[in-house]
Amino acid sequence: MSSTSPGAAPRRLTAQDFRTLGLAALGGALEFYDFIIFVFFATVIGKLFFPADMPEWLRLIQTFGIFAAGYLVRPLGGIVLAHFGDMFGRKKVFAFSILLMSLSTLGMAIMPTYETIGVLAPILLVAMRILQGAAIGGEVPGAWTFVAEHVPLRRVGFACGFLTSGLSLGILLGSSIATVINTVFLPETIEAGAWRIPFFLGGVFGLLSVWMRRWLQETPIFNEMKASRALAPELPLKTVLRDHGRGVIISMLLTWVLSAAIVVTTLMTATLLQKLYGYTAQQSLAATSFGTLFLIFSTSAAGAIIDRIGSGRFFTVGGVLFGAATFAFYSYAGTSITVMFALYAVMGLAVGMVGAVPYVMVRAFPARVRFSGLSFSYNVAYAIFGGLTPIAVTSMLAVNPMAHAYYLLFIAVLTVALGIYLSLRGETVEADAGIEELTERLARN
């Protein structure tokens, strides 16, 4: 990381910085909640939005296909929104993404079912899901870019880690709301209309977040580039692909680490605990929520640590701890429920290293194309690796019952390799001294 001028102490985080981080993290949590709440009610949605005489297996496949559509459109939505973010400002796109997510979620809440409008119902459902995918594609890289350009350079890791904690909170919020709905209402009541409640709540709270984000200010770095006419003179993505290939590759590999860690340890493990270790659905979901609490804490901690020791040493050590914690969990989770909960807490802390991933990614691209570079790398890699991980792990389980643990060991080795590479590169993926000096100067003001 670039050093400050002699005698110039780095600026501390101010109350305004914390308000910016809080609003960004809150919006990210609500937007992630809106995006994933669909999966918790997939069975009910399948019954209501497809013909009653359709085979159950086909209905479920089509429902999850609609859910997957949101992931497939993420790269396109992210690239388009990032283009406007690099050309016209981070704040406008940052606010638009959550507005788009809120409106599409509200659309799901009030949408007529198949019984009312026939085949138009699943078509509208796909349309709303596509809008959600486009929104989330712009939200995550936009949020990382936004907070990284607001805080002092030596606090970028903490800012990105804190925001990632907010995204993790959105997952926990979604599972918690789904649990409450399924506990309070009978299955017949849920099908009759109670399933709409979490979508309605998500849309309303999202609109509230849009209103709250009006207090956010454009990033100082973008304002400086605009004033000095240093914005990208051509299509930002063209510049990224032509001049910053190394940054794209490193960012995509780190996204692989992030997506594999979250998908396996958070989204798949509840099912694995039931099928492989004999726990009940309630025990498995409770354990996942418990582990996610530790993940929320450790992502912020990871960002604070990487600010102090740098990305090379962090990911070298973090990869080793991640591999040890995940392998221990999946090796001994079946011992007892107490041991399983304790190991899940340790694993949650170790998985929190993903909170430091955006620290490298926001520094991998110069500010004039940062949003586009980060968005392209993250969304394309997440669509590939996030989508293939469940399929690959499930397929390998047919051959080896510890396949999920070995897959995460491979991810740990990849993390260590990336850490060593970053150490050899002197903590920078791409060199852009002018932007680094600009960031330092603005951070000291």
Going from N- to C-terminal start, the domains of the chain cover 15-444
pLDDT at 141: 85
pLDDT of residue 56 exceeding 50: yes
Following DSSP, what letter does each residue of 120-137 receive, concatenated?
HHHHHHHHHHHHHHHHHH
Assigned token pair, 4:
């400050």
Going by C-beta distance under 8 Å and a sequence separation of 6 or more, which residues neighbour residue 119?
A: none
For the segment 208-220, the average pLDDT, to the nearest whole number, is 74
Would you give the end-to-end CA distance of the chain in angstroms? 19
Q: Is 431 helix (H, G, I), strand (E, B) or coil?
A: coil
Assigned token pair, 152:
């002092």
Rounded Cα distance, 363 and 432, in Å: 9
pLDDT at 405: 95
Q: What is the pTM of this model?
A: 0.82
Following DSSP, what letter does each residue of 14-33 receive, concatenated?
-HHHHHHHHHHHHHHHHHHH
Q: DSSP letter at 295? A: H
Rounded Cα distance, 135 and 133, in Å: 5
**Per-residue pLDDT band at 228 (split at 50, 70, 90):** low
Which fold would CATH assign to domain 15-444? Answer: Growth Hormone; Chain: A; (1.20.1250)
Residue whose entry in the numeric block shows the structure tokens 């019952």: 401
Q: What is the pLDDT of the chain when averaged over all its residues?
A: 82
Residue 229: how many other CB atoms lie within 10 Å: 7
Listed residue (127, 185, 135, 145) closest to 33, CA to CA: 135
pLDDT at 435: 44
Across 48-82, b (16+ Cβ under 10 Å) vs e yields bbbeeeeeeeebbebbeebbebbbebbbbbbbbbb
Helical segments of 149-185, H only = 156-184
Q: DSSP letter at 215? A: G
Assigned token pair, 269:
């493990």
Rounded Cα distance, 219 and 56, in Å: 50
Q: What is the pLDDT of residues 365-375, one digit of tens each?
A: 887 888 888 98
pLDDT at 132: 84
pLDDT at 130: 85
Q: What is the pLDDT of residues 135-189, one digit of tens each?
A: 887 778 888 888 888 888 888 899 999 999 988 888 888 878 888 887 888 888 9
pLDDT at 2: 37
**Per-residue pLDDT band at 231 (split at 50, 70, 90):** low
pLDDT at 222: 66
